[in-house]
Structure 1
Amino acid sequence: MARVDITEADSEGAEPDGPPARPRPRALRLLDGWRGDRGIWRRGLVLAALAFLIALVMALHAHIPNRVGSLGSLTETFLPWLGLGVPLLLILAVVRKSATALIAVLLPAVAWVSLFGGLVTDKAGSGGDLTVATHNVDADNPDPEGTARDIAASGADVVALEELTRAAVPTYTKILEGTYKHHKVEGTVGLWSKYPMRDTQAVDIKMGWTRALRSTVETPQGEVAVYVAHLPSVRVRLNAGFTAGQRDDSAEALGLAIRYEPLRRVILLGDLNGTMNDRALSPVTSQLRSTQGAAGDGFGFSWPAAFPMARIDQIMVKGVQPEASWTLPRTGSDHRPLAASVSF
């Protein structure tokens, strides 16, 4: 009997084998229903196909033909936004309990990171010998005076303005002349500088009127050729697609002018109505570096100002080192101004 009592006492007073089990993470609990479910490989085939298609477009966008409606350029203009499909497809794959779709989503994710992963990191440095800014001020800007004051307060040494109207030029000139002692307007584009300018002249970009100029700016660190350009607008029409023929012709003319530029240091400021991904701008982009790509933080979208979806305004350089690139606060324009600092 004594042995029985001792055994029972030991049994009643025994400690649990270990601490109570911790609740499993919700992400793992969502997968509990997948165990033993052979359908996880058969479900979600449509989602997998969509993921594969998005990855294919991102990887092979340069091969999308431009002959019909400039479809290739249209795709490349908004290419970064295809990345929104990745989290959406990921959520749908989990809801559908599809292992096939989950694996397929990796394809567009990898493609997007390889194309744009470098842009989402902050590469901006500090310092620089020259700060430049560019702004399409909008011909219909309801507040050119306020826009001019914002630009004057930007801290830039050199400022390019596009889409100037004859009526608004005196307003911009009057307000900016207190900060910028030197300026020149050619057609609908203008350049304001704290440093002396010379050899300023219009650049023919095959439009029939002046929307580009070139000037030598004499900075304390040396001369730099500054180009200001406003390439033709593009339109998206159901019956014609992405109408960008005139823009493409102007890009070729601008690229030719830059190719024969005698100065080693070159800065291009302006509204190019196209992104760095748009192959139609290759006559220009193949010769110059984007300050945003080299020293920016994020995509630096500039248009439309209310909800920027594309960077069609550009600051591009060669012969100088980009140090930082950023988007300035919104003004009365439908574009946002851009700025960058460079070192000689």
Structure 2
Amino acid sequence: MSAFSTHLLALAPVSAALLVAGRRWIGAGLAAALTVAAVAAVAPTYAGDPVEAPGGQPLTLLTANVRLGEADAEGLVALVERSGADVVSLQELTPSLRRQLEAAGLDELLPHSVVLAAPGADGIGLWSRSPLTDETRHDELTFPAVSARVGLADGQPGPTVLGVHAAGPWPQAADDWVRDLAKLPALLQRLGQEADEHDSAVLVGGDFNATWGNAQFRGLLQDGYRDAAEQLGARWTATFPAGAAIPPVIGIDHVLVRGAGARDLRTVTVPGSDHRGVLTTVTLPAG
């Protein structure tokens, strides 16, 4: 239910007003206090607080959950080409979809990759326009995560990009989700420390199965990590569920940024998926 808290906030003033009208003073006071606390927690996503990175070069990252490999490969490759994405992070990547993406030309657009295709929700992959180094598989979470350092043409220190997929809290028991969100900070901190050795940035793209309404997600935003949507004050980054009669209502897919400035973010249709993708352009720091 906390995932929907940003929507439920709209009802809080109504509840407080009704309690006042009914002379339920204690309830009205509690409703007002809870409203203030909730607004304080989610307000950064609306206010915006951009990070300046003067003189740096731009990089565009697309992250998308491909729905157990059911996304349309040709449509996805067309999206990558149309968007000009430099790096792509795909979650729930199956061996079948991986082959379809290769046949559709993804490896020609983005020739460098680190891919762990697997059945079900276990697969993940990163593709890049530029060469990748330090490719690493991370097994701390329920699903594998992958990271790599992106090389830059001008020889400047390239960012480390992490593709991640946290377990969902529903319909299965939430134990794995709680465990994943508790372990993620240590993984992010380790990547941040390694990036500091190269004076470079960290970009994290994935399906966190969590919104700003979840304290566990907000707890990831430490050690210099920022949500790109929060930097830009993006008011509507809902990504799930997609492809249905109703529009997406919650934002569980995110791009986190450390040491770089987000300058543009939008959600995009991923043909055949029940998630919208998140397309983010960041400005990398000049070396």
TM-score range normalised by the length of the shorter chain: 0.7 to 0.9
> Within 1, Cα distance between the matches of 2:115 and 2:13?
47
Give secondary structure in 2 for the equivalent of 1:167: helix
> Within 1, Cα distance between the matches of 2:260 and 2:205?
14
Distance 1:97 1:258, change over 3 A: closer
Distance 1:128 1:329, change over 3 A: farther
Matched with 2:136 is: 201
> Within 1, Cα distance between the matches of 2:126 and 2:98?
12
Matched with 2:187 is: 257
Gaps of 5+ in 1: 1-73, 238-242
Matched with 1:233 is: 168
> Within 1, Cα distance between the matches of 2:33 and 2:179?
36
State the identity as a percent.
25
Which of 76, 84, 95 is residue 10 of structure 2 equivalent to?
A: 84
Which of 275, 279, 287 is residue 211 of structure 2 equivalent to?
A: 275
Q: Deviations over 1:276-297 (max 9, x none)?
A: 3423346633342100011142
Give secondary structure in 2 for the equivalent of 1:184: strand
Q: Deviations over 1:115-170 (max 9, x none)?
A: 44443457789996111110001115252322232233222211111101111101
Using the TM superposition, give the Cα deviation of residue 337 of structure 1 relative to its aligned residue in structure 2, in angstroms: 0.2
Which of 239, 252, 261 is residue 312 of structure 1 equivalent to?
A: 252
Using the TM superposition, give the Cα deviation of residue 255 of structure 1 relative to its aligned residue in structure 2, in angstroms: 2.6
What is the aligned-residue RMSD (CA, Å)?
3.1
Q: Is the 8 A contact 2:48 2:230 kept in 1?
A: no
Taking the TM superposition and a 5 Å limit, the aligned residue runs for 1:25-36 are none
Distance 1:121 1:230, change over 3 A: same
Q: Is the 8 A contact 1:136 1:335 kept in 2?
A: yes
Count the aligned residue pairs: 260
Matched with 1:211 is: 144
Distance 1:186 1:140, change over 3 A: closer
Q: Deviations over 1:67-125 (max 9, x none)?
A: xxxxxxx42x22101123147558x85xx994958x87866665554344443457789
Greater relative contact order structure (CA < 8 Å, 6+ sep): 2
The alignment status of 1:247 with 2:177, answered yes or no, reads yes
Q: Is the 8 A contact 2:69 2:92 kept in 1?
A: no
Q: What letter matches 1:179 in structure 2?
A: L
Matched with 2:120 is: none
Matched with 2:240 is: 303
Gaps of 5+ in 2: 118-122
Give secondary structure in 2 for the equivalent of 1:284: coil
Q: Deviations over 1:220-273 (max 9, x none)?
A: 442211111111122147xxxxx3211222334433222222113211111111
The alignment status of 1:332 with 2:245, answered yes or no, reads no
Q: Is the 8 A contact 2:48 2:231 kept in 1?
A: no
Which of 92, 95, 99 is residue 170 of structure 1 equivalent to?
A: 99
Distance 1:88 1:330, change over 3 A: farther
Distance 1:330 1:298, change over 3 A: farther
Matched with 2:202 is: 266
Matched with 2:45 is: 119
